[in-house]
Structure 1
Amino acid sequence: MTNITKEKVCLIGSGNWGSAIAKIVGRNVTKHSAYDSEVRMWVFEEIVEGQRLTDIINSRHENVKYLPGIQLPENVVAVPQLLDAVKDATLLIFVIPHQFVKGVCEQLKGNIHPEARAISLIKGVDISKGGLHLISDLIKDHLEIDVSVLMGANIASEVAEENFCESTIGCTNRQNGEAFRKVLNSPYFRVAIVDDVAGVELCGALKNVVAIGAGLVDGLKMGENTKAAIIRIGLMEMKKFSQTFYKGVRDETYFESCGVADVITTCFGGRNRRVAEAHVTTGKSFEVLEQEMLNGQKLQGTLTALEVHHILKAKHMVVDFPFFTTVYRICYEGRPARAIVDDI
């Protein structure tokens, strides 16, 4: 990138995962002379404790709403206006709920650095154009830039607490993948690179559907044998779905952190598992539980199950994916939780 004097990083998003990543990025940019030391983080402005959230972050260096108790580096600057945040940025890190990507990209179009590249940490798929599209492709098509992805067994709070874990970058341009690895890799957050964007990204999206199934089993108190079976069946459908709709998805990708490791951690510790368990124990809808339990965060597993079902129905393949279909029917058609074992 001959016209770039220094790489400048911007985080687009500031939830618990975005804030955990901001802690890593803020530290790493100060270690490499090729990177500008300021990291801007776009924050959707909210009033918290009577103050603007951006003011709190910039004065206390803590995202008190989404990642309380974790200190962010002082060079991470919260910015409430999206276009101000991305100004002059060459490395864009997207970490927002996937249903908001299109609107954000519409604002960014024509307003980013001419040599900007992006990486998506977003879990989900897009079906708005009548077919299955990766979120990375949505960003790439809107902004006409190269887009890598990062997925892995990464519960935000544990990453923020610096517990050792791994993650996986999927890229098509190795140089860009390495540029992002430099700002994301750390002793406690070990990042590998593979050239399988679709495989890495679909793992990150589909594992949330599997976690819904695991949480239902927990709520039903069926035990570890049943949960292990559900995880295995779900993982097999993840692989089958990915390789059915995207050529070139590699078997080996499922043994990276983005694959089996992410499925395991999400099925034992993630928000989708927790809410699905509560659905069984309380009888409340997923929509109500999202509002009650997630402090403004979004439940990705149910939405992804809906989107996957639309694709399978359009392709007349519903019966070929009994696990995904059953999760959808429990979430949206009132099937009892027990169907997670009875119907697959």
Structure 2
Amino acid sequence: MLYLPFFHFPTLLLALMATAAFLPPAPIFRPRTPTARHRGLPICAAASDAPPPDAETDEGEAPRGGRKDRRRVVRIAWEKLVRWSRSWRSRNRSDVLETTRKVVVLGGGSFGTAMAAQVAAKKPDLEVAMLLRDDLVCRSINDRHVNSKYLSEYSLPENIVATTSASEALAGANFCFHAVPVQFSSSFLESISTYVDPKLPFISLSKGLELNTLRTMSQIIPLALGNPRQPFIVLSGPSFAVELMEKLPTAMVVASKDRKLASAVQQLLASSNLRISTSR
């Protein structure tokens, strides 16, 4: 199957306009004016009929400085293209944050806590729910904004709310970060499957294989939830939870069969200290 690249029509139109400005004007063909030799007139008489040096040129001739004018047109066209491209990309980035109202993080370990803090810092009015099993840790996060068990030396954004109720945590969520260890993921997901929206994107932070079955998270999540079409994304990379909490330069990769979904997660997480690349 032949795959053709996707071109956005306004971008293609501006690019064609800018390219066309480089082309010279089309020549206008006129009948050749007979010279003095062909008309049988003296050369001096024919020379007197020539236009003065300051006379206006014919319509088909390019004026002096035409190349500079064309360069100016090209420069202006490309400046417009760059401005439009930047505004279009920024508008897309803002759309993801504007439409996202709630994010849920399953698990309260080091990386789950760091990812919750990363997402919560992107948008102060975004609700970030952490589904935990320890009541003491829940109270610590809700009252003191500190995970008393993991990364206790760091303060968490105030828009992070912890709960032990799966129905409360998953209700109305736009994205779900799965940070439960692989060996416990199947049983955990089966216990909350009744509260999971079939269209809720699952972003897996867990690494490794299930020992008994050798299944990956891309296999465990749809099987445990009973939905083979559950949207699934993998987030991985050479990163540590402490790096995210310290706001150190960090790079990660988000991969999904759905390119638009991967791009949405990229825009949701990317920041000045966290660079997110997409892959399939």
Q: Distance in 1 between matches of 2:233 and 2:149?
A: 28
Give the 3-state SS of the residue equivalent to 2:207 in structure 1.
Answer: coil
1:309-320 aligned at under 5 Å gives the runs none
Q: Normalising by the residue count of structure 1, what TM-score does the alignment of the two structures yield?
A: 0.49
**Corresponding residue of 2:32:** none
- Structure 1 counterpart of 2:186: 102
Describe how 1:18-167 pairs up with structure 2 within 5 A. 18-30=112-124, 37-46=126-135, 52-129=136-213, 132-143=214-225, 144=227, 145-167=230-252
Q: What amino acid sits opposite 2:278 in the alignment?
A: I
Aligned residue type for 2:103: V
Cα 1:7–1:173 shift into 2, 3 Å: farther
How big is the alpha-carbon RMSD for the aligned residues of Structure 1 and Structure 2? Answer: 1.9
Structure 1 stretches of 4+ with a deviation exceeding 3 A read: none
CA distance in 1, matches of 2:231, 2:243: 30
Aligned to 1:8: 102
What are the equivalent positions in structure 2 for 1:302-341 lying under 5 Å apart?
Answer: none
The structure whose residues are more often helix, as a share, is: 1
Tell me how far 1:176 sits from its aligned partner.
1.4
Displacement after TM superposition at 1:15 (Å) = 0.8
- Contact kept, 8 Å, 2:233 with 2:255, in 1: the verdict is yes
State the secondary structure of the residue aligned to 1:70: coil
Letter matched to residue 153 of structure 1: P
1:157, distance to aligned residue in structure 2 (A): 1.3
Structure of larger gyration radius: 2
Which SS does the other structure have where 2:194 is aligned? Answer: coil
Is the partner of 2:277 in helix, strand or coil? Answer: strand
Give how far 1:85 is off: 1.1
Give the drift of 1:28. 1.7
Counterpart of 1:126, as a letter, is: E
The code of the aligned residue for 2:236 comes to M
Match of residue 19 from structure 2: none
The 8 Å contact of residues 193 and 224 in structure 2, kept in 1 or not, is answered as yes
3-state SS, counterpart of residue 128 of structure 1: coil
Structure 2 residue runs without a partner (length 5+): 1-98
Q: CA deviation at 1:127?
A: 4.4
Alpha-carbon separation, structure 2, partners of 1:134 and 1:56? 33
**Displacement of 1:149 after TM fit?**
0.5
Question: 2:276 matched to 1:194?
Answer: no
Q: 1:146 to 1:55 in 2, by over 3 A?
A: same
* Residue in 2 that maps onto 1:216: none
Contact 2:118 2:244 in 1 (8 A): no
